[in-house]
Amino acid sequence: MDKVFVEGMQFYGYHGAFPEENKLGQRFTADVVLEMDTRKAAASDHLDDTVNYAKVYEMAKHVIEGEPVSLVETLSNKLADVLLRQFPEVTGCTVKIIKPDPPIPGHYDHVAVQVARDRSDI
Active site residues: 99
Instruction: Give the DSSP per-residue string, 12-66.
Output: EE---SSHHHHHH-EEEEEEEEEEE--HHHHHH--GGGS--HHHHHHHHHHHHTS
Q: C-alpha angle with apex 57: 87 to 104, nearest 5 degrees?
A: 120
